[in-house]
Structures are given as C-alpha cells and as structure tokens.
Amino acid sequence: MEPIRSGSSTVYFGGDAIDALRADLDRGGFSRVFVLTDSNTREHCLPVFLKWDPALADAIHLSMPAGEAHKNLDTCRRLWEELSEYGADRKSLLINLGGGVVTDLGGFVACTYQRGISFVNVPTTLLAMVDASVGGKTGVDLGVLKNQVGVIRDPDLVGIYPGFLETLESRQVRSGFAEMLKHGLIQDRAYWEALSSLAGLDTLETHIHHSVQIKNRVVTADPLEKGHRKILNYGHTLGHAIESCFLDSDSAEPMLHGEAIAIGMVLEAYLSVQTCGLPREACDQIKTTILKFFPRVALAPALRDRVMQLLRFDKKNAHGKVLFSLLPDIGQAEIDQEVAVDHILDAFDYYAR
Ligand code: NAD
C-alpha cells in the first residue's frame, strides 16, 4: 500500500512501516531511543514491536497506566522526569506505541521535552490508526476539559501495522470503525457503500488506508482549522454530548467514543434531511447500516434532556440555534448548518423507532 504524505510526516502501512522505522533508526543518529507504551500495549504490542529491528533491543521502555484518565499533566511530568533521569537529550527519539491516548500524550511529551525531540507514532487501535494518525494534534486533558493543552506538530513518521488489532477488544475495533463510516459519509459514497456491505470487521487493511487518505485530504486542505476541517465533526456535536452524559451518569454504562458518534451520525442524518436536503431514503439507509454494526441503545428521557441542556449552554450555540456539520447527500458535507433546537428532539424519536 502506498505511503501517504501528511504535512512533514509520512504514514507507512504494514511491512513498509517496519522498513521505514528501520531506515529512520539507521540514519537518524539518535543518541537514545525510548519506547512509550501503556499497561495494555506493553503486554500485547511491545513484544511484537521489539522484533521489528535488532536496534530496538537497546531501547529504554517507558510506560503509563492505560486509559483517558491518565492523559494528563501528572503523567507528562513523570515521563519528562524519567527522560531526564535516563539522560535523554535533543538527539533522542521517542516512539509512541499505543492508542490515541499514548500517541497524543507521547507526542506532547516529545514536543515539549527540551523544546522538542524527534518522535514516531505506531498506533495500535483502529481509532488511532484512522483518526489520530494524521493532522499533527498532540495534547493532554486538563481536568474534565479534553485536549485543553497541546501543540500541533507532525511526528517524523507514522507506522500503521494492522496486525496489532488482533489483540484489541472487538468493542474497541467497532468504536474506531464509526470514524471510518463517517469518512465515507462525508467524502466518498462508494467507500461508504463498501463499508456498509461488510459482514464483519476482521479484514480492514485496505479500508484503513483509504480512511487515512480521506482524513489526510481534509486536514491538509485546512491545516489551521479555519473551516473545511469542520466536516469531520459530522455526528460529533450530538455524539460528544451523549458521550459526556454517559460519562457523568452513575447508572449508565460508559460508552466508547465511536459508539456515541454512531448514534450522533443517525441523529444528524435526520437533521440533514430537515436542514440541507439529504434524501429521506439516504437517511434511512444510514440508520439501517449504523444499527447493523451498533445495536440501538435506549436513550432515557432524562438523558435526552441533559443533552439538550448541554447544547443550549454551549457558548458556541446562540439564540436557540446550534451549528452542525451535515450531509446534503451521502459522500458530501456542509459546515455551519443552523438547526433549531426543537428539531433535535424529533431526531431522537427517529433514532428510537
Ligand atoms: P486508548 O488509547 O485509550 O486505547 C483504548 C484501549 O485499548 C486502552 O485500554 C489501550 O490500552 C488498549 N489498547 C490499545 N492498543 C491495544 C492493542 N493493540 N491490544 C490490546 N489493547 C490495546 O483510546 P483510543 O480510542 O485509541 O484513542 C482515544 C484518544 O485518542 C482520545 O484521548 C482522543 O482525544 C484521542 N484522539 C486524538 C486524535 C488526534 O487527531 N490526535 C483523533 C482522535 C482521537
């Protein structure tokens, strides 16, 4: 599969990822090489990764606890200190081997340690492969505020090796798949149709490549997030609000990001019919496909109310109107679409029946 050039970085796939990392290690002249994992990727991915190149036998292993709760400045501080204790200098390399938490946080640690050292990302979740691998966003959370602190800088290279997905929980694979469906819906009808007809999620290699191409096309057209990049928010306005409500709630089981986005995409397909002319049959097709992969979740009236409150109090949404990225048709997206708050309640009813 062709490598994908993204900003100052290149994304390599499969065996090419191994070759590219070897070449980087050969010619980089690095004083020390560090590999950052979390507790799960240390167990499941590191043993495989260390076989990629004999030089990695000398790499120093750094680790962090798994999970978003640890994507914070305390973890960064500990890693900055460890780098310092191990004598990391400006010629050191940090390889981030993990999901989006490790690649976001590890990228930030590398960008800030001694004002910036080289880093490489080796994403090991589907979400990190298809979503976090391009665009150069690094960062950490500040309390409940997600990605509040960070910088934008591309890694030296990204190595996508789908074999790592073998140990990833199927629910996590499905969560990343939601973003792939979104890529089809906003940019590429044929791709959406190919994904819709999949019987299972175990042979995704060529699709991962296609998703990275689409995401890369969008972020490179709008590197500073002036406008066009907002099409990537399709499904995310309501999806994020639902995700937050599930996180806040004591009784509800936590929902993965992609699971919430899947619901958001059905709701926002309905809003697309009302607002920018998505044909009703296309909307029904979106709902059928999404429910094929993501069984319907009961959204209690209290949760709907909480979502509506979150939208009303969001500073970006003034005068009872909320701005969405919506679909005039499958494969196309429009940003800054105004939706009357009352229409959103109908969208919940549409999802539920
Ligand atoms: P994650 O990194 O928490 O990984 C999910 C879980 O899978 C973790 O428990 C992890 O330890 C485990 N895991 C990872 N790889 C594994 C493997 N191969 N086998 C077994 N277990 C494995 O979560 P995620 O969904 O990958 O990423 C979410 C994060 O990514 C969020 O913090 C989000 O903000 C960020 N993100 C960043 C961008 C960006 O552009 N930088 C884009 C999307 C998301």
Distance in angstroms (rounded) separating the CA atoms of residues 171 and 173: 5
* Residue 174 falls in the annotated catalytic set: no
State yes or no: pLDDT of 9 exceeds 80: yes
pLDDT digits (tens, 9 = 90+) for 332-353: 999 999 998 889 999 999 999 9
Report pLDDT for 307. 92
Report pLDDT for 48. 97
pLDDT digits (tens, 9 = 90+) for 223-240: 888 899 999 999 999 999
Question: How confident is residue 318, by pLDDT bands cut at 50, 70 and 90?
Answer: low
pLDDT digits (tens, 9 = 90+) for 60-118: 999 999 999 999 999 999 999 999 999 999 999 999 999 999 999 999 999 999 999 99
Ligand 1: list residues with CB < 6 Å.
38, 40-41, 44-45, 66-68, 71, 98-102, 104, 124-125, 127-128, 131-132, 135, 137, 146-147, 164, 167-168, 172
pLDDT digits (tens, 9 = 90+) for 257-294: 999 999 999 999 999 999 999 999 999 999 999 999 99
* Residue 257 falls in the annotated catalytic set: yes
Burial 270-309 (b: 16+ CB within 10 A, else e): bbbbbbbebeeebbebbbebbeebbeebebeeebbebbbe
pLDDT digits (tens, 9 = 90+) for 116-161: 999 999 999 999 999 999 999 999 999 888 899 999 999 999 999 9
Report pLDDT for 86. 98
How many other C-beta atoms are found inside a 10 Å radius of the C-beta of residue 353?
6
Higher pLDDT, 203 or 174: 174
Give, in degrees to the nearest 5, the angle at Cα 23 between 22 and 25.
65
* Residue 233 falls in the annotated catalytic set: yes
From 96, 97, 103, 104, mutation site for ligand 1 pocket: most ligand atoms within 8 A of C-beta: 104
Closest to 264 measured CA to CA, from 288, 296, 292, 240: 240
HEC profile for the chain? Answer: CCCEEECCEEEEECHHHHHHHHHHHHHHCCCCEEEEEEHHHHHHCHHHHHHHCHHHHHCEEEEECCCHHHCCHHHHHHHHHHHHHCCCCCCCEEEEEECHHHHHHHHHHHHHHHHCCEEEEEECCHHHHHCCCCCCECCEEECCEEEEECCECCCCEEEECHHHHHHCCHHHHHHHHHHHHHHHHHHCHHHHHHHHCCCCCCCCHHHHHHHHHHHHHHHHHCCCCCCHHHHHHCCHHHHHHHHHHHHHCCCCCCCCHHHHHHHHHHHHHHHHHHHHCCCHHHHHHHHHHHHHHCCCCCCCHHHHHHHHHHHHHCCCCCCCEEEEEEEEECCEEEEEEEEEHHHHHHHHHHHHC
* Residue 137 falls in the annotated catalytic set: yes
Q: How far is the CA of 277 from the centre of ligand 1 (A)?
A: 35
* Residue 72 falls in the annotated catalytic set: no
